[in-house]
């Protein structure tokens, strides 16, 4: 039976690579986007032209009511949700003293609350089916912390705590919960880095290159299909850590 997967933040970067790889491997995909509508439309048209099944849905995943509409759409369209990939996120570089309450709330809402709320809305369907896989995209900063990224690091560390706790709670319902902690991935989120900064990251990475979205997508596919892995945080960072 083909699995149904919902991927948040799927119009660009890591999320796009995840949605594309899963669709190409016969998953039925619902790709969430918020601001990048044309990129989402392009992804849908490309995959449809290749004969794969994908729908797109606009939702601000920091808002519960929009999350509910997205979940309802997915279940009405495909009848169930087998896999949830909580990928959507934003980052911010600021000195700790300069982080405002508004900065903090925005990062926590998008990077941590969204994982909580989206997962909570999906879990009932998975429990009813006695099966499911949840993959949360954290960050190497969630594992190690990052200078000038306190809010982002805190939110991504929270994703890891949520993952480990929920894996224990949902295991008896045959629902697996894992997290991936990417290193520096070649996406728009890191486009602000200078060539010198990229060169330093590459020099500090034993495998000698930046990561690509497909590197994360392959791990997501494995976690979606594997049946005996849960509560894990997998660092995909080329050995950077």
Active site residues: 152
Structural contact between residues 157 and 149, judged by C-beta atoms closer than 8 angstroms: no
Under DSSP, is residue 136 helix (H, G, I), strand (E, B) or coil?
Answer: strand
Reading across the β-sheet that carries 83-86, which strands appear in turn? 54-58, 28-33, 4-7, 83-86, 132-137, 175-182, 233-236
Q: Which residues contact 161 (CB under 8 A, 6 or more apart)?
A: none
Q: Which residues of 10-43 are buried (b: 16+ CB within 10 A; e: fewer)?
A: bbbbbbbbbbbbbbeeebbbbbbbbebeebbeeb
Which residues of 69-148 form beta strands (DSSP E)?
Answer: 83-86, 132-137
Determine the Cα–Cα distance for residues 44 and 19; give it in Å rounded to an integer.
Answer: 10
């Amino acid at each position: 039976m083909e699995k149904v997967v919902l991927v948040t933040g799927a119009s660009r970067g890591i999320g796009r690579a995840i949605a594309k790889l899963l669709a190409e491997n016969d998953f039925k995909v619902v790709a969430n986007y918020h601001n990048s509508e044309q990129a989402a439309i392009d992804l849908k048209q490309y995959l449809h032209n290749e004969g794969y099944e994908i729908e797109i849905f606009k939702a601000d995943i920091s808002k519960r009511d929009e999350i509910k509409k997205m979940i309802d759409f997915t279940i009405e369209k495909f009848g169930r949700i087998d896999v949830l990939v909580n990928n959507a996120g934003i980052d911010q570089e600021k000195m700790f003293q300069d982080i405002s309450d508004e900065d903090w709330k925005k990062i926590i809402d998008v990077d941590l609350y969204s994982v909580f709320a989206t997962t909570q809305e999906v879990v009932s369907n998975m429990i009813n089916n006695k099966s499911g896989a949840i993959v949360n995209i954290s960050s190497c900063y969630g594992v190690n912390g990052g200078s000038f990224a306190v809010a982002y690091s805190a939110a991504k560390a929270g994703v890891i705590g949520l993952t480990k706790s929920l894996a224990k709670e949902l295991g008896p319902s045959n629902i697996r919960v894992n997290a991936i902690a990417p290193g520096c991935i070649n996406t728009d989120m890191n486009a602000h880095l200078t060539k010198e900064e990229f060169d330093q990251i590459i020099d500090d990475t034993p495998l000698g290159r930046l990561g690509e979205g497909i590197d994360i997508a392959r791990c997501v596919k494995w976690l979606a299909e594997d049946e005996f892995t849960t509560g894990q945080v997998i660092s995909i960072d080329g050995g950077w850590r």
